[in-house]
Amino acid sequence: MKVLIVQDSLVPRGGSEIVALQMIEALHGAGCTPVAICRERDSSAAYRTPVYEFPELFRRSGGAALAAFQTVLDRERPDLVHIHKVTTPDVIRFAAERLPTIVTIHDHNAYCPGGSKVFWRTGVVCRRPLGVPCLLHAYTHQCASRHPVRLWRQFAFSVDAITALRTVSRVLTLSGCVREQLLRSGLEANRIVVLAPWVELPPAAAPDDGDTVLFAGRLTREKGLLSLLRALALLQTPFKAVIAGDGPLRERCKSLAGELGIDHLVEFRGWLSRAALQSEYTRCALLVFPSLWPEPFGLVGPEAMAYGRPVVAFDVGGVQEWLVDRVNGLLVPRGDVPSLAAAIAELRMDRQLRARLGEGARLCVKERFDRK
């Protein structure tokens, strides 16, 4: 069987990129033939499969996108299309009209015009389904663009995306959290399957001699690094924090670290290679996952857990599907900065607790997310 993978980026930084690359690897292992279309790829990577770079497929202009897509379909003649991230739902509909098609949902854009499911004016998580009231919420709750044209485009995209998903064979989600959101927005239950990503399990847990606090992810409002920096400033003992990632809030985060007087203790590393990030998992004492949006899954959490590292996280979205409080990490009420600081301090100071939760973390990955 030949499977065409459609994914915006194949540079292994975020969860969607890693999951798509996992799928390509798994298809090889299953005796299938994967082919990929992307906007960008890792120029230093040696792919074992044909990869087509078609940036036009990931732009809003439907005509050029669909022409590029048809070119690959004609050349490769796949038996199945597996779409991860695209810019226009027309691609989903176009594929489903021609071949059996699966779509994996990695974020909230298909049912949230703002993409975050958070009312940012009050900080409250939105639990309402996609609908016309979303247009009003953008103004009253600051959950999406308030520019009329951009807001309408975002809303139209979400409505069109839900409609397009009704044409495909299956919709995969990484967590039950996302599945519930799709159900609220009208997608049929028999069309949705929860399939969590698998996590590579190292041969043994890393020695518990690390001392850094690790954050890994995009530097955006949703990922909550500003909350983590404020929590770190409350710690009463010396620490070192490593920030692995980049994004539009990088300078704001660096500025806040300076304002809080902890800039000499926080190292901003930018995006790391997979090997470099895995080295940070072995060197850290714990990972902090301070996401403020309903996290669709949060792959870096189980990745750190595979190395025997406990995780401190806000209780949001799909986090509870891999973090059990005081079994493999510490769950903190969403947005509670003092409690986040207390949880970090407790794990840093209590080596026995850290070791016990680290063992539970690795066991969780082995039992639930190991590829085998």
Q: Look at residue 203 and tell me if it is in a domain.
A: no
* Boundary residue ending a domain (194, 226, 247): 194
Residues 185 and 43 in one domain: yes
Residues 54 and 94 in one domain: yes
Residue 242's closest CA among 215, 209, 217? 215
Residues 174 and 227 in one domain: no
Q: How many domains does the chain have?
A: 2
DSSP string, 288-342: EE---S--S--THHHHHHHTT--EEEE--GGGGGT--BTTTEEEE-TT-HHHHHH
| 250-275 per-position pLDDT tens digit | 999 999 999 999 999 999 999 999 99
Residues 273 and 327 in one domain: yes
Residues 150 and 39 in one domain: yes
* pLDDT of residue 106 exceeding 90: yes
Residues 185 and 220 in one domain: no
Residues 147 and 10 in one domain: yes
User: What is the model's pLDDT at position 238?
Assistant: 86
How far is the C-alpha of 361 from the C-alpha of 144, rounded, in Å? 36
Residues 242 and 190 in one domain: no
| 181-231 per-position pLDDT tens digit | 999 999 999 999 999 999 999 988 888 888 899 999 999 999 999 999 999
* Boundary residue ending a domain (164, 194, 224): 194
Domain range for 360 is: 212-368
Q: Look at residue 62 and tell me if it is in a domain.
A: yes
Residues 89 and 186 in one domain: yes
102: domain CATH number? 3.40.50.2000
pTM score, whole prediction: 0.92
Region of residue 117 (left: phi > 0; alpha: psi -120 to 50; beta: else):
left
Residues 162 and 217 in one domain: no
Q: Look at residue 33 and tell me if it is in a domain.
A: yes
**Edge-to-edge strand order for the sheet containing 266-270?**
266-270, 240-244, 212-216, 284-289, 311-314, 329-332
- Cβ-Cβ contacts under 8 Å for 275 (sequence gap 6 or more): none
User: What is the model's pLDDT at position 60?
Assistant: 67
| 326-358 per-position pLDDT tens digit | 999 999 999 999 999 999 999 999 999 999 999
